[in-house]
Structure 1
Amino acid sequence: MFNRTTFFIREHVGMLKLSDTYDILDPATQAQLGIAKEKPGALIHVLRLIVNKRMLPTTVNVFEGDSHENDSKRLFSIKRRFSLIRPKVEILDRQGNKIGYFKSKLISIGPSFMVFDTADNQVAQIKGDWKGWNFQLLDKNEKEIGSVTKKWAGVGKELFTSADNYVIALPDQADKNISMLLLAAGLAIDIVYKE
């Protein structure tokens, strides 16, 4: 899956959802490439009824194909710990080894966070517009290397649900870990930072 440069992310629609699921699709054919499934603990499910979801810990597992039950198909995980102001979000590979992390900026006009590798080197930055619909993936020199763009889902879905659709465009010929970090960053915009 990491040899691809574009992904269509479609959030599952549901009423009173306490966890999220996202399809990762080929934008041209709509073929399913993967699935991202949030897996908070039982206590966290209950706490989400009374505490802001963005403060609570969560884990999102990303699987290749259309099954989220087979752990051998897990590609990586996005893990956010409890936070009050600036969540630190870790990206773990299939074996649970940290390959990088995200840290939100303390002050910014639009949504923004930085992407770091395991050696604490900043490898990218994600900057959003003031609406929080379109995001640029920038390298450490602030050159655009990709984008995350919200796609209109129709009046009924936009007005009555919080489900969003995005297209993630990544750079050509990126290292597998960088592609994994950038795909995770695109998913984290909605799953971790906006929900």
Structure 2
Amino acid sequence: MATRGLGGELWGEAFEQVTGVPLREQASVTGSTERVILRETARLHDLPYSDDLFARFADALGAVHVRRAAELRERGHALPGAAAVLAALAERGVHQSVVTGNVHQAAEVKLAVFGLDTYLRLDNGAYGEDGEGRPELLHAALKRSDVAPAAAVFVGDTPADVAGGLEAGVRVVAVATGKTSASELWDVGAEVVLDDLADTGRALAALRA
């Protein structure tokens, strides 16, 4: 999904709320979890990092997403084809959840705002609170879903997603809808790379659904 810059605004608001310091610079976010981004951003501001800081930040970030959900709906949008693919998978009885570096509440708000939460078992997913890297998050989601790695498919759009899926023993379908090009996703080992999800039939074929 795309937030047209609002995601960064919400992050900065939560950062200043818990640190008392205006956000000057945010660490790279592509493929990272909120825990890692906060730790590295705190370092850029010469601030000490702790698990308590992250817990407070996660609460603040979730709360600001709730408070500004209507604005998120107005400024952002789901990626073309995403809802159709999720709906088609749901019709086939496919167990679907989410693995994301976002904190749990913020992820739930974004999915709900764009009408994607209906198709997902969110309690079986994994979020920024569950670890620092994609393999750790994937293992957490697989355990909660009681699904073996070999039986799962992970859809992601960053090199970290691809590498994490491979390390976790999960088949990866990459989608070049983020900041990473299709060729880069092929280069890091994705088995399948789609330009987008606009063609539902092609997406389902890639997912073998």
Please report the TM-score for the alignment, with normalisation by the length of structure 1: 0.32
Larger % of helix: which?
A: 2
Structure (1 or 2) with the greater strand fraction = 1
Q: TM-score, normalised by structure 2?
A: 0.31
Rg larger in 1 or in 2? 2
